[in-house]
């Protein structure tokens, strides 16, 4: 397990750095991801390795700090690296934590850049983050984020994009919130990295499918 003082300091950094973010990417999201990651790690048999658990907890806590979607100052890009240095995290652990964080994003996977980061700890943290993006919480987060960006709920004239590249995925200005389900969220179940993550994703994915179907039925006046 991560050193208690370092974890406490990481939690304080999360509270400070993410203050002011909308509720889709706030501190509560980070606490859920941390809890999910530690739970997945135990199910994957990593709890007997203190170093792995330390890497997982710190990577989960720090994974959204400096997120490009909320970047307010170029300095924020280096906050995590500076934090780990200040906490005197040994180089091998620091390198692993940073590589996990840098490889987690969906856009990285679209670009084929995440495979080189694969390790047990990476899969656990990424799966935890993706589990929080689907199911009931994921639906709530999706519409919260869309609302924060004044995105249209749904427009039948705007079709979901298929076979997205990283560059296409980043161009979301004309996309709708509902299309995000088709372009990303409904794809996450099939790219979970761990067995535990795959198992947990099944129920959340099914709930999302039912929600999307109900949404369209209500939109079209047939429900």
pLDDT at position 139 over 60: yes
CB proximity list for 117: less than 8 A, separation 6 or greater = 99, 100, 102, 103
pLDDT at position 154 over 80: yes
pLDDT at position 44 over 90: yes
Single out the residue of 139, 143, 179 nearest to residue 159, CA to CA.
Answer: 179
- Residue 96 CA to residue 118 CA, distance in Å, equals 10
Q: Are 3 and 45 in contact (CB under 8 A)?
A: no
Q: In the structure, what pLDDT confidence band is assigned to residue 68 with cuts at 50, 70 and 90?
A: confident
pLDDT at position 114 over 80: no
Mapped onto helix, strand or coil, the DSSP state of residue 36 is helix
Q: Give the pLDDT of residue 73.
A: 62
Question: Which residue matches tokens 């979901």?
Answer: 160
Q: How large is the average pLDDT for residues 40-55? A: 96
pLDDT tens digits, one per residue of 22-34: 999 999 999 999 9
Q: Are 1 and 53 in contact (CB under 8 A)?
A: yes
- Residue 56 CA to residue 97 CA, distance in Å, equals 8
- Residue 212 CA to residue 135 CA, distance in Å, equals 11
Give the global pTM: 0.90
Query: Comparing 75-89, 120-134, 138-152, 174-188, which segment has the lowest mean pLDDT?
Result: 75-89
- Token pair of 115 as six digits: 């495979």
Q: Are 33 and 132 in contact (CB under 8 A)?
A: yes
pLDDT tens digits, one per residue of 197-215: 999 999 999 999 999 999 9
Domains of the chain (ranges plus CATH)?
4-219 (1.10.3210.50)
Q: Give the pLDDT of residue 106.
A: 75
pLDDT at position 148 over 50: yes
First to last CA, the chain: 50
> In sequence order, which ranges of the chain are alpha helices (DSSP H)?
4-17, 27-43, 50-62, 79-86, 91-103, 106-110, 120-131, 135-148, 166-170, 177-183, 195-219
- Residue 218 CA to residue 161 CA, distance in Å, equals 23
- Token pair of 42 as six digits: 């135990």
């Amino acid at each position: 397990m991560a050193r208690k003082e370092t974890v406490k300091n990481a939690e304080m950094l999360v509270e400070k750095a993410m203050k002011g973010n909308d509720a889709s990417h706030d501190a509560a999201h980070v606490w859920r991801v941390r809890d999910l990651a530690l739970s997945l790690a135990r199910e994957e048999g990593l709890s007997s390795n203190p170093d792995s658990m330390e890497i997982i907890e710190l990577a989960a806590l720090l994974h959204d700090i400096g997120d490009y979607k909320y970047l307010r100052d170029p300095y924020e890009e280096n906050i995590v690296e500076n934090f780990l240095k200040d906490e005197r995290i040994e180089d091998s652990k620091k390198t692993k934590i940073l590589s996990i964080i840098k490889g987690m994003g969906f856009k990285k996977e679209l670009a084929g850049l995440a495979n080189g980061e694969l390790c047990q700890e990476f899969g656990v943290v990424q799966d935890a983050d993706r589990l929080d993006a689907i199911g009931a919480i994921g639906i709530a987060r999706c519409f919260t984020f869309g609302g924060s960006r004044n995105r249209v709920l749904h427009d039948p004239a705007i079709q979901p994009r298929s076979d997205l590249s990283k560059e296409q995925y980043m161009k979301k200005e004309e996309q709708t919130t509902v299309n995000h389900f088709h372009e990303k969220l409904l794809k996450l179940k099939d790219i979970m990295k761990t067995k535990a993550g795959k198992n947990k994703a099944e129920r959340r994915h099914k709930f999302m499918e039912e929600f999307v179907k109900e949404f369209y039925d209500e939109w079209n006046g047939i429900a």
